[in-house]
Amino acid sequence: MPVTNDTSTDALVIVPAQAAPAGEAQPQAGFLQTVPMLIAIFAIFYFFLIRPQNKAREAHQKLVGGLKKGDEVLTEGGLYGTIHEVHEDRVFLELAPNVRVAFAKGSVASTASADDADDKKGG
């Protein structure tokens, strides 16, 4: 089978890059156009990322600050338990009768009563 150099079907179009002539300057956005755009981007980041994260953190701090003996809680690891003791930086949960485990206060994700309220709203 002979090899042909027919490029009519496999044409590759190469377009050279065109630079602006040396005497002409490229159009640039002015300072007054750039500043409002940066402010708009910051506002979008604030309202969609920063503000919701701050609200969630404040709600979690309020939850952790209000923990007391007898509360049923869910940990971030997925364990349900009843608070047996509350200390400065940790809580002791009773997972089963006479089974007590220490957890960092910050690892408490929610209270069981809050989970029940969410279930009633959603279903």
Q: What is the pLDDT of residues 22-72, one digit of tens each?
A: 656 555 667 788 899 999 999 999 999 999 999 999 999 999 999 999 999
As a whole number of angstroms, the distance between CA 84 and CA 70 comes to 6
Q: What does DSSP say about strands 99-104 and 108-111: parallel, antiparallel, or unpaired?
A: unpaired
As a whole number of angstroms, the distance between CA 77 and CA 45 comes to 30
What kind and span of H or E run contains 104? strand 99-104
Residue 86 carries which side chain, given as an amino acid letter? V
Q: Are 94 and 82 in contact (CB under 8 A)?
A: yes
SS3 110: strand
**The pLDDT of residue 87 is above 70:** yes
Please report, rounded to a whole number, the percentage of residues in the chain having pLDDT higher than 90. 61
What is the DSSP secondary-structure string of 45-82? HIIIIIHHHHHHHHHHHHHHHT--TT-EEEETTS-EEE
According to DSSP, the residues that pair with 90 across neighbouring strands are 104
**The pLDDT of residue 121 is above 60:** no
**The pLDDT of residue 20 is above 80:** no
Write down the pLDDT at residue 5.
59
According to DSSP, the residues that pair with 52 across neighbouring strands are none
Write down the pLDDT at residue 81.
94
